[in-house]
Structure 1
Amino acid sequence: MARYAIGDIQGCYSELRSLLSLIQFNPDSDKVYLVGDLVNRGLQSLEVLRLAKSFYPAIEVVLGNHDLHLLACWAGVSSVKELDTLDSILNAADVDDLLHWLRKQPLMIELMDCYICHAGINPTISMDESLRIAESCNEKLSSDQFHQWLQIMYGNTPATWDAGLTAESEFRFGVNSFTRMRMLDRLALEFKFKGDIANSPGPLIPWYMVESDAAKRIVFGHWSTLGLMVNQQFASLDTGCIWGGQLTALCLDDGHLYQVPSEHDCQCIFE
């Protein structure tokens, strides 16, 4: 048995199939974790979703911001944007089956040696609190009231944690931390900067540079301009496949990296 984490796919189905072939994925014995943003920007998001669902639980996923946007469009609480490539899913005969499955997927997975999430784990709160918030968010999105919660998730506030937050504010804070976070501004969530950290204005600081009580490696994606970063504490796996980079898999057991080149040739749009 081998365990792998794969970075942001964003509808790059052909590359995903090539990467699964490269790692010789065996659904009877192996485990693959997709770090969110399965869909959008690429032209084969529907195929990616169908593949992920068909191999579940040999393939597990955490939700990313693009996955949540898809769910919101399906639920009628948001609309498709100009650059979105979600119509093939929304018009598919099996859309309800796929998206009822998707909305029940977690924001964070805890393994014996790492945590897996899309954007990161907010370092300003304890890991126990993060696990509780992630579970609470998952319960809300899995409930019959998921339409209401998808509508509530929009907005940039609160930017900081407070134990007295309402359920609605806590949900938005959790979703934003797990799926949108890159930079912190004096420990508050900041969403405007999406570029190379070498060009970031002060006092912004990457979330992973703030001390936390995380005792395991955090595996994440979301930040294509950060690119590949693998060390004992963190593994950043969004290598910009949709923007002409690579699709990356990290073997969680031995640390070996596997990559396949993008089949796209386009300039990066930081979203």
Structure 2
Amino acid sequence: MSTYLIGDVHGCYDELIALLAQVAFDPQRDQLWLTGDLVARGPDSLAVLRYVRELGDSVRLVLGNHDLHLLAVYAGISRNKPKDRLTPLLEADDADALINWLRRQPLLQVDEEKKLVMAHAGITPQWDMATAMACAREVESVLASDSYPLFLDAMYGDMPNNWTPALSGLARLRFSTNALTRMRYCFPNGQLDMIAKESPENAPPPLKPWFALPGPVAADYSIAFGHWASLEGKGTPEGIIALDTGCCWGGTLSLLRWEDRRWFTQPGRREPALSA
């Protein structure tokens, strides 16, 4: 059995299948970890969702910000942007089944045997593992409930951006969602900055990448994440694994085989960018 970790797929179905073929992935034997953002921007989000759903228990995934945005679009809360290329998925006969499956997926994966954690954006240094797990489960619970449209309507926004256990209600859920699916930079005290998207060498001071600040989770676990394509999988400390290498932007789709830490890549197709 092998464990394969793959970065943001973003609707790049052909590249996903080709990358899995490189390692002879066998869903009867192997396990696939996916960093989220399965959909949007790439050419075939529908095929990606169908394929991943069919993998059943052989896949462990987390939701990303684009996956949450798809849920909001389907619920009529957000606009379907042409650049996201979601229309075939939204109009598919099995869209209801796919959406209901997607909103019941986790935001955090933890493997105690491997001492491995995965979240789409990473783990804020303000959280210990117990807090990270509790906050993820709170968001997952509301997403799986009948009241999920209320949460989706309230999840957009950059505040609050500082963790305190006193946070409650929709404010707490919004912070947790941002920390797990949108975070890139933090202030030195761990407070989230939800604006900067530059590469770390161009980040405005005093901002630091979240993984540059010491945190209790990173001290005890390896952390795999996606979300940040401009890193190109580089520049992180040991034990922090950046998997998004920008396949949908003409970069590559990257896979890490956990057991021997060997990397595999599949080139993405370069396509003209679509306007918003």
Please indicate the TM-score interval, normalised by the length of the shorter structure: over 0.9
* 1:124-139 equivalence runs, <5 A: 124-139=126-141
* Residue equivalent to 2:224: 219
* Residue equivalent to 1:3: 3
* Residue equivalent to 2:49: 49
The two structures, once aligned, show a CA RMSD in angstroms of 1.6
Find the aligned partners of 1:88 and 1:239 in 2 and give their Cα distance. Answer: 25
Find the aligned partners of 1:162 and 1:22 in 2 and give their Cα distance. Answer: 45
**Is residue 249 of structure 2 the alignment partner of residue 247 of structure 1?**
no
* Equivalent residue in structure 2 for 1:149, among 131, 148, 151: 151
Structure 1 residue runs without a partner (length 5+): none
How far off is 1:60 after superposition? Answer: 2.2
Find the aligned partners of 1:37 and 1:11 in 2 and give their Cα distance. Answer: 8
Contact 2:83 2:274 in 1 (8 A): no
* Residue equivalent to 1:119: 121
Amino acid at match of 2:39: V
1:242 alignment partner, SS class:
helix
How far off is 1:82 after superposition? Answer: 4.2
The 10-residue stretch of structure 1 (74-83 or 126-135) with the greater mean CA deviation from structure 2:
74-83
Amino acid at match of 1:121: I
How far off is 1:81 after superposition? Answer: 2.3
How far off is 1:194 after superposition? Answer: 1.2
How far off is 1:267 after superposition? Answer: 6.8
* 1:250-265 equivalence runs, <5 A: 250-265=256-271
**Identity of aligned pairs, percent?**
39
Contact 2:211 2:237 in 1 (8 A): no
How far off is 1:232 after superposition? Answer: 3.5
Structure 2 residue runs without a partner (length 5+): none
Find the aligned partners of 2:69 and 2:105 in 1 and give their Cα distance. Answer: 14
**Is residue 220 of structure 2 the alignment partner of residue 238 of structure 1?**
no
Relative to structure 1, the CA distance from residue 77 to residue 267 in structure 2 (aligned partners, 3 Å threshold; closer, same or farther) is: closer
1:9 alignment partner, SS class:
coil
The 10-residue stretch of structure 1 (180-189 or 66-75) with the greater mean CA deviation from structure 2:
180-189
* Residue equivalent to 2:198: 195
How far off is 1:85 after superposition? Answer: 1.0
Task: Normalising by structure 2, report the TM-score.
Answer: 0.94
Find the aligned partners of 2:46 and 2:274 in 1 and give their Cα distance. Answer: 22
1:79 alignment partner, SS class:
coil
The 10-residue stretch of structure 1 (44-53 or 75-84) with the greater mean CA deviation from structure 2:
75-84
2:109 alignment partner, SS class:
strand
1:57 alignment partner, SS class:
helix
Find the aligned partners of 1:21 and 1:231 in 2 and give their Cα distance. Answer: 30
Find the aligned partners of 2:199 and 2:237 in 1 and give their Cα distance. Answer: 19
How far off is 1:77 after superposition? Answer: 1.4
Amino acid at match of 1:48: V
* Residue equivalent to 1:165: 167
How far off is 1:264 after superposition? Answer: 2.0
How far off is 1:56 after superposition? Answer: 1.6
Amino acid at match of 1:162: T
Contact 2:245 2:252 in 1 (8 A): yes
Contact 1:243 1:266 in 2 (8 A): no
Amino acid at match of 2:203: S
How far off is 1:268 after superposition? Answer: 11
Find the aligned partners of 1:94 and 1:265 in 2 and give their Cα distance. Answer: 27
